[in-house]
Chain A
Amino acid sequence: MYRVGIIGFGRIGRRRAALVNAHPRLELTAVADPYVQDAAAVSPSCTWHRSGADLLRQDLHAVFVCTPFAVTTDLVVDALKAGKHVFAEKPPGRCVADIERIRDVEALFPGLTVKFGFNHREHDSVRMSESLISSGELGRLMWMRGTYGKAGGPGYEGDWRSDPDIAGGGILLDQGIHMLDLFRVFAGEFAEIKSFVGQAFWKVGVEDNAFALLRSADGCVAMLHSSATHWNHTFRLEIYLTEGYLVLDGFLTGSQTYGRETLVIGRRDWNDVDSARGRPREERYYFDEDQSWEREVDDFVRCISTGSPVVNGNSLDAQRAMELVMRVYADDGWRAAR
């Protein structure tokens, strides 16, 4: 049984707590949050701390860092120095230097596991797409077009995610980073980036829309639109290969506002008359459950117990995703108003 602490007990921290409580090999032992005092209600045997530093002095095997981005880096570093395995939510800080600092410290403690919460990789539509692409049956990857957007909504301007000092960036760093991470999963690294980043609606210090074109060394082009003015919440990723295509549309999330998670599989078939007209036969898979969070935690526990390296969401993944975010900002000369 691994004793676990959670630092940051907001919406995500509470969701992690439920997962820890449900896991047969984890015991939620401590929670740290300066503003929350109902940790005992979540787990009666839990110790409540006002700060992450206090929690890290407790005898724990692992910690989940579920805090605003401004404090993520320091807490991950301190947790490693305290000998704890670490699971941290994305993004891994507010800039590339933050994740580089984490990786420097991680290298000093090779026996400790560090994993970041890029849970989109663990969704069924993504896993099935990955399997189809890697099988080669749909040919070579040519291009991708990804839209990930939400509405912002009431309270958005006052949310810490819109505060440049705390968040470090806007919708791209908070949500678009997931789409960039998926681009990497499917296409590998990108050599070139062009972008437009800015504010279309919200009067906050961070971007509310980011458009980017990325090209990999072997010619795959990926187009991203990350938006906080997408009044209808949208997740859509189109992936076109030489022999067919995949469309991931809708996503099962905690908010349940991105629609049903589906994956369309279509194939180029020029022997068929209708296909020649551009309406090929399609198969649309519907996925009814989001097990991505459970899979992440399972994988974290497996890595701790076996000492095996993290494959999905390791610190290099986090660094590369963060680098992409910063390159999108840099190409358009965008700077958050810090």
Chain B
Amino acid sequence: MKRVVTSGDLTQRAMRPAELLDAYLAHAQADILRFDLMLGGLERPCPACSGHGAPEFMRFGFSYQRCTACGSLFVSPVPREERLARYHAEGAAERFRREQLLPMTADVRARHALGPRARWVLSAAASRLGRSPTLAQFGAETPPLLDLLRASASVVQWPADVTADGADARVDGVIAFDVLERAADFSRALHRCRRALHPRGLLFVTTMSGGGFDVRMLGPRTAALVPPVHLQLLSRAGWLAALAREGATLVEYSTPGELDVQAVADACRRDPGLRLPPILDELVRHEDEQVGRAFQELLQQACLSSHVQLIAEAGPDAPIPR
């Protein structure tokens, strides 16, 4: 098993400008009410391991539960799929994200997210899948990412919704960047990804972690946490359980997120009522910024940053899709 740690100059301010993020969250809260997302919501056990959930915190009216078995964080009751679909398709928040937030942060995302992700996929594909692998990407179409990938691999774009129709071929690698956490039926979404893979094919996932420093320190105050988008944030143990159910194996698990410490420090500055354990407060708000960077790297080394990237390998006997 290998894991990656990144170091660089990424800042919370550049990746998530406060004024844009605040506007986006305001839209999200309005859309939650507009589409009545909690109406008829379904109680559920842990989507990763079917374990029991204990209430952890509320955010925007959503109840986040912590699985007592695997430690994953998940929303329950979970909104109905049709309501979520309307939120994503018609909501002001998603439109704002597409038309304002992403374009305004495109440069920094290209350098710190898309480029590294493309290189990560291509490197793993080259060493594990051989030359000229066929890849398919679920999720929102991201032309810069596709351009980078297509320089070295054959890549097709599949639906934004993993469980939607239109992805019946089999490929060597499935890319699911920031999509599995938003599936109302996580098990079906993961099964769909695995079913699309040839035996020994690879599933590339990026997502938010339920065990990350940011969300564990801040809980409902986690700025990056948007309930209709983050319906399940699996822990490492949760991923192991979910993948095992699909006959897949976790071959790489890293949390190369660079922003936890900055995000927690920002939250503390913005909310004087927020109290961290004193020594952690001192570390995240240390006057020497190198201390914060070192702390962030330590979180990455321990796989405790909030941004996860993982690779799972399909088993040798993955069945032909029906």
Contacts and interface: CB of A to CB of B under 8 A. Distances in A.
A289 interface: yes
Contact of B8 (A281, A286, A287, A288): A281
B287 interface: no
B116 to A, nearest CB: 7
Contact of A283 (B4, B10, B152): B4
Given A127-B127, A131-B123, A137-B119, A280 B8 contact: yes
Interface in A260-281: 272, 274, 279-281
B2 interface: yes
B2 A287 contact: yes
Contacts of A127: 127
Interface string B184-203: 00000000000000000000
Contacts of B9: 272, 274, 279, 281
Interface residues of A, number: 20
Contacts of B152: 135
Contacts of A128: 123, 127
A159 interface: no
The CB with the most chain A CB atoms within 10 A, among B4, B112, B122, B152, is that of B4
Contacts of A286: 2-5, 301
A181 interface: no
Nearest to B303: A286
Contacts of B3: 285-286, 288
A288 B1 contact: yes
9 contacts: A124-B2, A131-B126, A131-B127, A281-B8, A281-B116, A282-B8, A284-B5, A284-B7, A289-B1
A42 interface: no
A40 interface: no
Interface in A127-152: 127-128, 131-132, 135, 137
Nearest to A287: B2
B301 A281 contact: no
Interface string B292-305: 00000000010000
B4 A285 contact: yes
Contact of B5 (A124, A283, A288, A289): A283
Interface in B71-122: 111-112, 116, 119, 122
Task: Kindly list the 9 A-B residue pairs having the minimum CB-CB distance in the complex, ordered from nearest.
Answer: A281-B8, A274-B9, A284-B5, A131-B127, A287-B2, A285-B4, A288-B1, A286-B3, A283-B6
Contacts of A135: 122-123, 126, 152
A287 B2 CA distance: 4
B227 interface: no
A291 to B, nearest CB: 11
Contacts of A288: 1-3
Contacts of A289: 1
A128 to B, nearest CB: 7
Contacts of B8: 274, 280-282
Contacts of B5: 283-286
B7 A285 contact: no
B256 interface: yes
Interface in B1-53: 1-10
Interface residues of B, number: 21
Nearest to A284: B5
A284 B112 contact: no
A258 B111 CA distance: 33
A65 B301 CA distance: 39
Nearest to A124: B2
A279, A283, A289: most-surrounded residue (chain B CB, <10 A): A283
A281 B127 contact: no
A282 B126 contact: no
A44 B237 CA distance: 40
A131 B152 CA distance: 14
Nearest to B116: A283
Contacts of A280: 8
Nearest to A279: B9
A314 to B, nearest CB: 22
Interface in B110-157: 111-112, 116, 119, 122-123, 126-127, 152
Given A128-B123, A281-B7, A289-B1, 15 more contacts: A135-B122, A137-B119, A137-B122, A272-B9, A274-B8, A274-B9, A281-B8, A281-B111, A282-B7, A283-B6, A283-B116, A284-B7, A285-B5, A286-B3, A288-B2
Given A286-B301, A289-B1, A281 B123 contact: no
A288 B2 CA distance: 6
Contacts of B111: 272, 281
B144 to A, nearest CB: 15
Nearest to A272: B111
A281 B5 CA distance: 11
Contacts of A137: 119, 122
A137 B127 CA distance: 14
A283 B298 CA distance: 14
A23 B126 CA distance: 27
Interface string A95-137: 0000000000000000000000000000010011001100101
A281 B2 contact: no
B112 A283 contact: no
Contacts of B112: 281
A132 to B, nearest CB: 6
A286 B254 CA distance: 9
Nearest to A263: B2
A4 B152 CA distance: 43
B54 to A, nearest CB: 31
A285 B6 contact: no
A137 B4 CA distance: 19
Contacts of B301: 286
Nearest to B6: A283
A218 to B, nearest CB: 24
Nearest to A271: B111
A282 B6 contact: yes
Nearest to A261: B2
Contacts of A285: 2-5
